[in-house]
Structure formats: C-alpha cells, structure tokens
C-alpha cells in the first residue's frame, strides 16, 4: 500500500498571466514546492499532470474555433504541447516529481486519470503497478481538473484527500462546491498543515 501526491496542472497557462490564468496559481506552485521540501518521505510517489494539447486542431472540440468559448466545454487555446504555456510554472520544483502525466492530447481531458505517463502507460495502470491506494490531490483548478481527478481517484478505489490550501479555483463559489462534491463522494478535504 503506497501513498501518492497528485499535482494537477500547475502550468504557466493556468497561472496568472496565462491563457486561462487562475488567481492564486503562482502561490499554489510555491506552496506545493515548499510542502514537498518540508515533508520529505511523506509520499512514495509524486506525480504531476499537464494538459498537453495539439496546436494544429481543435482537440476534439476542446478549443473554441469560429465562435467565442463557452468556458464550460470550449476554451481558448491553452497548454499547447511544446509551448511555454504548457510548461510547469517555474515555482514548482520539478526535481521533486517522480512521474509525469500528459492529458488532453487531441481530446478534451480534465482528470489525470485520462492521461498517460511519459512511457505510455495509462495512469491507472501506473498506480496499480506501484500499489498506490491513497492519494492527496493539489493543483489547479479546484473546480475543474482537481475536482475531476479527485472524483476519478475515488472511482478507481483510492482513498482521496484534497489539500485545500494547495489548490486554486477559477471561481470561489464553484471551487467550494467542488470540494463539497468530493466529500459527498467519500473523499476528504483538509489543510496540508
């Protein structure tokens, strides 16, 4: 039985100044780095996900083309693989990350469980191989990819805790609702402290 930290989408395009920047995103990047530095050995595995979209198509309707994005199912171009926007925020110390997962490669994807590792494994398979039964979830954005990842982790039979001081929401109201939804589904929400 192993424990993992899932660091969700702490990328330049999701932090202040990015294509879909979230207030507090840079502080989340700094906070996750500090948390990992202050808690060595707390996790058997640290995994980070990134949106990694194609730049030459609409990614299965994920990118709005020809009309304004609705910010529900269609979005402006963001996190195009190989661009600065898709890279991790510089305040996130990537030397502390053991496994990298890319998601949304040509299709809409919100949850880390929709992604694959750098060596091509489905994320659930990678966790199974490593015996991960418990995950803590941090990152961006609480009301979208953090929510989806936490709910999918619960659906995959993991014990799940969202560390609410290490997440940032697009909207405070929908962010709070997402945390309630995770609790209602059997997860926990608490501070990292």
pLDDT of residue 147: 97
Q: Can you tell me the mean pLDDT for 120-133? A: 94
pLDDT of residue 55: 76
Catalytic residue among 13, 51, 79, 103: 103
The full set of domains in the chain, from first to last, is 2-190 (3.40.50.850)
Examine the pLDDT at 36 and tell me if it is beyond 90: yes
| Stronger pLDDT, 68 or 145, i.e. the higher one | 145
pLDDT of residue 77: 75
* pTM confidence score: 0.93
Catalytic residue among 9, 143, 152, 164: 9
Is residue 70 part of the annotated active site? The answer reads no
Catalytic residue among 143, 145, 152, 164: 145
pLDDT of residue 72: 76
Examine the pLDDT at 70 and tell me if it is beyond 80: no
Q: What is the DSSP string of 95-145?
A: GG-SEEEEE-SSS---SGGG-EETTS-BHHHHHHHHTEEEEEEEEE-IIII
Is residue 184 part of the annotated active site? The answer reads no
Is residue 103 part of the annotated active site? The answer reads yes
């Amino acid at each position: 039985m192993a424990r993992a930290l899932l660091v969700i989408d702490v990328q330049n395009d999701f932090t202040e100044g990015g294509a879909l920047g979230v207030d507090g995103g840079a502080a989340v990047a700094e906070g996750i780095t500090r948390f990992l530095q202050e808690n060595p050995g707390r996790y058997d595995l640290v995994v980070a996900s990134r949106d990694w979209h194609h730049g030459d198509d609409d990614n299965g309707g994920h990118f709005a083309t020809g009309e304004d994005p609705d910010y529900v199912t269609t979005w402006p171009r963001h996190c195009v693989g190989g661009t600065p926007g898709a890279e991790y925020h510089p305040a996130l110390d990537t030397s502390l990350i053991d496994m990298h997962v890319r998601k949304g490669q040509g299709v809409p994807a919100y949850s880390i469980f929709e992604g694959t590792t750098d060596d091509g494994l489905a994320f659930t398979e990678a966790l199974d191989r490593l015996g991960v039964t418990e995950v803590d979830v941090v990152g961006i954005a609480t009301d979208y990819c953090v929510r989806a990842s936490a709910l999918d982790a619960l659906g995959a039979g993991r014990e799940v805790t969202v560390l609410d001081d290490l997440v940032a929401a697009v909207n405070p109201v929908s962010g709070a609702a997402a945390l309630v939804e995770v609790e209602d589904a059997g997860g926990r929400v608490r501070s990292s402290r």
